């Protein structure tokens, strides 16, 4: 069960929990204290900060120091989370607070109830800081144990988090939003972490449909027959190598008093072997995450519905399993897409853009005001930007709006160009274009050019390549656990809210 989250304005000495969380900063001459740390220090007779210095705490990001109180306070343990260096104004960015809150949750396994004083970092808590502390605490406590046989008495992450604020009543709305966002991110993580033998195309479509119906959305699923009748040649080609046929899922939310419509598209390759252009065996198991874009847009449209935003949103989700077999699509095949364009296949491992082409074409038929698409599209994204920063391409204004939203959300992104000379890498002697350039230079940008072929002129659009950020293969950090991360749900939400503001 996910942790509960609440707010309290009771005095610190009248609270009780299994642990209390405070923050400290990193200064040039040692630790920088915060109001929460000062309050606990006073409660413990002025011993907290001295003990931290003796233990060598530095206040750096992702650093958590746990200390016993030896019965001198209402909490048996104090968890001191590092905030890193402060900004020029002496405060700390929301993302630093979010990461500190998440790191504390991860460090407090075995402590059921937690009181957090992080909301007061940088001054009286506003909605942004409440969101940061709450999201960090809940996402840091996430775990995926569906496939583990675990003892019932094992240590677990915190099950309740209470934030100390000046006015608990005023914090209720912010914490309701925190709960909704954290649940959407957790849904995305759960889907990404599920193994492909249990999350095949029909099952992902069914789980997405169930989430959509729970949120009150209109649901449509196209099977192979409907895809054939609808001319979805890209989805059918990629899914043709598997005995588990492809699907197209559509989830629609109609907001009250909506005057803006947004199309969401997310790549749903439930497993990507590369097809006939097969991938190396090493790390192929990570390709269960190739449906992270699909999971994110499913969760986002459900989140928009839960928040009751005044916007119309439709998620169009192409879902397939890319396997080699006698029925798999081949290099040199020519695929005809829903909008009538044709691509010569030069690499069956560049399959994401092939299914997205059909989905973008279908989404554009609804005449949305904006189109946002996200996918684990290219290994070139990680070469260019690493494992934590997504690349964003598309119409300049919408691309830049997405990047700005990512800053507010704490999901790092970088605006990328679509240099016109790279479009020549898609030229084909046989069809309208090829699906992959041969020389691999600018691979992420060439993929963006391919997707652009299916966006109607005049439609603002943005593509978010989350190949690295959507799945953490390294150690946990901040509020990011190993495996599915939930990127870019929070950025998609922040972008949509900005578009309708």
CA distance 409 to 340: 38
Region 54-63: what's the mean pLDDT?
95
pLDDT at 123 over 80: no
CA 316, chain centre distance (Å) = 17
Q: Does 491 score more than 90 pLDDT? A: yes
How far is 3 from 230, CA to CA, in rounded Å? 44
The CA radius of gyration of the chain, in Å to the nearest whole number, is 24
Give the confidence band of 478 by pLDDT, cuts at 50, 70, 90: very high
Which one of the listed residues 177, 353, 399, 423 is annotated catalytic? 353
DSSP count for the chain of H helices, then E strands: 14, 21
pLDDT over 80 (residue 124):
no
pLDDT of 377 above 80: yes
- Residue-wise pLDDT for 283-313, tens only, equals 999 999 999 999 999 999 999 999 999 999 9
Asked if 487 contacts 411 with a C-beta cutoff of 8 angstroms, the reply is: yes
Q: Reduced to 3 states, what is the DSSP secondary structure of residue 328?
A: coil
- The structural domains of the chain, ordered by start, are 4-166 (3.40.220.10), 181-500 (3.40.630.10)
pLDDT tier for residue 121 given thresholds of 50, 70 and 90: confident
pLDDT in tens, 212-222: 999 999 999 99
Per the CB < 8 A criterion, the answer to whether 463 and 374 are in contact is yes
Which tens digit of pLDDT belongs to each residue from 321-371? 999 999 999 999 999 999 999 999 999 999 999 999 999 999 999 999 999
Kindly state the average pLDDT of the residues 133-155.
97
Q: Report the C-alpha gap between 427 and 433 in whole angstroms.
A: 5
What is the reported pLDDT for 73? Answer: 85
261 φ, ψ (degrees, to nearest 5): -125, 140
**Catalytic-labelled residue, pool 58, 66, 254, 279:** 279
pTM, full prediction: 0.97
Rounded distance, CA 440 to CA 444, Å?
9
Confidence of residue 60 (pLDDT cuts 50, 70, 90): very high
Give catalytic status of residue 288 as yes or no.
no
440: left (phi over 0), alpha (psi -120 to 50) or beta: left
Q: Is 449 in contact with 426 (CB distance < 8 Å)?
A: yes
**DSSP-assigned letters across all residues of 37-86:** HHHHHHHTTS-HHHHHHHHT----TT-EEEEE-TTSSS-SEEEEEE--S-
What span, in angstroms and rounded, lies between the C-alpha atoms of 226 and 468? 33
Q: Is 279 a catalytic residue?
A: yes
Question: What integer is the mean pLDDT of 233-246?
Answer: 98
């Amino acid at each position: 069960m996910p942790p509960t989250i609440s707010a309290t304005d009771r005095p610190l000495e009248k609270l009780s929990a299994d642990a209390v969380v405070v923050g400290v900063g990193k200064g040039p001459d040692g630790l920088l204290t915060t109001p929460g740390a000062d309050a606990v220090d006073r409660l413990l007779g002025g011993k907290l900060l001295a003990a931290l210095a003796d233990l060598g705490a530095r206040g750096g990001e992702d650093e958590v120091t746990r200390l016993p109180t030896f019965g001198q306070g209402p909490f048996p343990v104090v968890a001191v989370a590092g905030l890193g260096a402060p900004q020029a104004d002496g405060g700390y960015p929301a993302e630093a607070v979010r990461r500190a809150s998440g790191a504390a949750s991860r460090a407090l396994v075995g402590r059921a109830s937690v009181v957090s004083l992080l909301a007061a970092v940088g001054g009286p808590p506003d909605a942004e800081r409440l969101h940061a502390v709450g999201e960090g605490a809940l996402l840091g406590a996430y775990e995926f144990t569906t496939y583990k046989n675990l003892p019932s008495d094992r240590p677990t992450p915190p099950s309740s988090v209470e934030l100390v604020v000046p006015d608990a009543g005023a914090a209720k709305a912010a914490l309701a939003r925190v709960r909704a966002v954290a649940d959407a991110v957790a849904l995305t993580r759960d889907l990404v972490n599920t193994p492909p033998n249990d999350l095949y195309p029909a099952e992902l479509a069914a789980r997405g449909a169930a989430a959509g119906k729970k949120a009150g959305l209109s649901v449509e699923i196209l099977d192979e027959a409907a895809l054939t009748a609808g001319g979805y040649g890209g989805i059918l080609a990629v899914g043709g190598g598997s005995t588990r046929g492809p699907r197209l899922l559509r989830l629609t939310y109609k907001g009250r008093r909506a005057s803006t419509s947004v199309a969401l598209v997310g790549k749903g390759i439930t497993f990507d072997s590369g097809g006939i252009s097969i991938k190396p065996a090493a790390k192929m198991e990570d390709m269960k995450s190739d449906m992270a874009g699909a999971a994110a847009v499913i969760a986002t449209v459900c989140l928009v519905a839960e928040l009751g935003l005044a916007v119309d949103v439709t998620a169009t989700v192409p879902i397939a399993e890319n396997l080699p077999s006698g029925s798999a699509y081949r290099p040199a095949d020519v695929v005809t897409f829903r909008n009538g364009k044709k691509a010569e296949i030069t690499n069956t491992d560049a399959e994401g853009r092939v299914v997205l082409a059909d989905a973008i074409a279908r989404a554009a038929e609804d005449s949305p005001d904006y189109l946002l698409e996200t996918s684990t599209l290219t290994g070139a994204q990680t070469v260019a930007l690493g494992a934590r920063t997504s690349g964003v391409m598309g119409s300049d204004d919408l691309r830049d709006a997405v990047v700005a939203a990512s800053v507010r959300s704490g999901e790092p992104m970088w605006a990328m160009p679509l240099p016109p000379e790279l479009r020549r890498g898609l030229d084909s002697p046989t069809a309208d274009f090829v699906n992959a350039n041969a020389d691999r230079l600018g691979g992420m940008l060439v993929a963006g050019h391919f997707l652009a072929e299916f966006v109607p002129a005049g439609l603002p659009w943005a593509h978010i390549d989350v190949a690295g950020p959507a799945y953490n293969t390294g150690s946990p950090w901040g509020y990011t656990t190993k495996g599915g991360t939930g990127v870019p749900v929070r950025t998609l939400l922040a972008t949509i809210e900005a578009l309708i503001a």
